[in-house]
């Protein structure tokens, strides 16, 4: 279906948008007109779907000219025909890489929502609302790039700079170059320019175009659709801010994983408890329990007194003294004397002589 060729397209109803009460939007559309793109972006919105399908199926580029077969008829589209049909400027820069860097630097601040230069690898929500819409226009209707329309690219911002800063561009050369990429077999350029190609094919009187169909009103930028664009982007911006605030609030809480990561883990070693340590623990636990005073008194009465080491020494000394006294004391009178037989050499000298 030919509708796939303009599923992401945008067209501009300049009369409607220039009558808006939004000065910022009106100023942006006036810049588009001043750049020389009104004839290309605001041409009559008529589409010949059958002719479009034939055109892209049979198109090719030869010597810088686009050739195709539509309804059995050969059509030839040159850069000159392209420029004249849409009244495009043919003087100025033909390549986006030639745009002055100081102009790009100035544009980064002009379109910025915060006043600080925007990041060229960021998203379009950094921009003021009119320039967010301009970012969509250059992506869908001029460069015709597939992908995320919210992301800012160098090519998109170069096109925005050309419009915002009034850089003189050879729009005929640039836009015809996009058309040639569309019909090149090895190119990754998305298909587009459905309204513009339909208008070009209508300039060939011998080509049978088939029935025409109106371009979808939802894809034409008018006062109504621009206000809808603003409403959607305001809501999305508020949701992003709310989501970011919630994410920040949640991130303040430290999870268990964060705490484990912050505190280094100590290597756990197994230790066997000694008997003394176990007994000491038991003693501590018993001591912590409350014992009635009466029970303590009774336990003191039953227990035998324990002597200290000094008392033990005194007791031993007393025992030795008692044993010494008993050894030196005379024997009892009542006990018979024990006679000890004496040998001859134990006798006195006189007794030995007598014997």
Return the sign of the alpha-carbon dihedral for residues 54, 60, 64, 67.
Answer: negative
CA-based R_g, the chain, Å: 55
Q: Give me 177's structure tokens.
A: 């170059």
Q: Is residue 2 within 8 Å of 50, Cβ to Cβ?
A: yes
| Rounded CA separation 22/27 (Å) | 9
Return the closest-CA partner of residue 234 out of 73, 125, 136: 125
Q: What three-state secondary structure class fits 38?
A: helix
Q: What pLDDT is stored for residue 87 in this prediction?
A: 96
| Rounded CA separation 142/130 (Å) | 17
pLDDT in tens, the chain (355 residues): 567 777 788 999 999 999 999 999 999 999 999 999 999 999 999 999 999 999 999 999 999 999 999 989 999 999 999 999 999 999 999 899 999 999 999 999 999 999 899 998 889 999 999 999 999 999 999 999 766 788 899 999 999 999 999 999 999 999 999 999 999 988 888 899 999 999 999 999 999 998 888 888 999 999 999 999 999 988 775 555 555 445 555 455 555 555 454 445 555 544 444 444 444 434 334 344 444 444 444 444 444 445 445 555 566 666 766 666 655 555 444 444 444 555 655 666 666 667 6
Q: What pLDDT is stored for residue 187 in this prediction?
A: 84
Q: What pLDDT is stored for residue 322 in this prediction?
A: 66
Return the closest-CA partner of residue 65 out of 176, 168, 151: 176
Q: What pLDDT is stored for residue 186 in this prediction?
A: 83
Q: How many residues does the chain have?
A: 355
Domain ranges for the chain, please list them. Answer: 10-235
| Rounded CA separation 50/71 (Å) | 9
Q: What three-state secondary structure class fits 110?
A: helix
Residue whose pair of structure tokens reads 């949640």 in the numeric block: 250
| Rounded CA separation 24/36 (Å) | 19
Q: What pLDDT is stored for residue 235 in this prediction?
A: 79
Q: What pLDDT is stored for residue 315 in this prediction?
A: 66
Q: Is residue 47 within 8 Å of 194, Cβ to Cβ?
A: yes
| Rounded CA separation 64/57 (Å) | 18
């Amino acid at each position: 279906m030919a509708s796939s060729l303009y599923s992401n397209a945008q067209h501009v109803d300049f009369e409607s948008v220039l009558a808006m009460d939004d000065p910022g939007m009106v100023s942006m559309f006036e810049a588009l007109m001043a750049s020389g793109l009104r004839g290309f972006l605001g041409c009559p919105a008529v589409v010949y779907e059958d002719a479009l399908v034939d055109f892209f199926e049979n198109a090719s580029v030869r010597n810088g000219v686009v050739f195709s077969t539509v309804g059995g008829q050969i059509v030839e589209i040159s850069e000159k025909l392209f420029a004249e049909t849409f009244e495009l400027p043919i003087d100025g820069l033909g390549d986006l890489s030639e745009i002055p860097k100081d102009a790009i630097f100035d544009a980064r601040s002009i379109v910025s929502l915060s006043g600080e230069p925007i990041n060229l690898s960021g998203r379009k929500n950094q921009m003021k609302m009119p320039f967010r819409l301009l970012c969509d226009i250059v992506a869908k209707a001029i460069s015709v790039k597939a992908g995320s329309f919210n992301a800012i690219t160098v090519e998109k911002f170069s096109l925005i700079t050309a419009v915002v800063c009034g850089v003189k561009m050879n729009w005929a050369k640039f836009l015809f170059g996009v058309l040639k990429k569309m019909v090149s077999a090895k190119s990754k350029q998305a298909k587009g320019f459905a309204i513009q190609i339909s208008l070009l094919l209508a300039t060939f009187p011998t080509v049978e175009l088939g029935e025409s169909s109106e371009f979808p009103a939802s894809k034409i930028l008018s006062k109504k659709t621009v206000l809808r664009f603003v409403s959607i982007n305001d809501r999305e911006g508020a949701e992003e801010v709310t989501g970011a605030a919630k994410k920040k609030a949640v991130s303040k809480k430290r999870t268990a994983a964060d705490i484990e990561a912050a505190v280094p883990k100590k290597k756990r070693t197994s230790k066997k408890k000694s008997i003394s340590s176990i007994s000491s623990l038991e003693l501590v636990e018993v001591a912590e329990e409350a014992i009635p005073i009466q029970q303590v008194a009774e336990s003191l009465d039953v227990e035998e007194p324990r002597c200290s080491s000094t008392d033990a020494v005194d007791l031993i000394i007393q025992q030795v003294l008692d044993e010494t006294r008993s050894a030196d004391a005379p024997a009892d009178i009542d006990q018979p004397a024990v006679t000890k037989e004496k040998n001859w050499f134990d006798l006195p000298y006189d007794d030995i002589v007598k014997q």
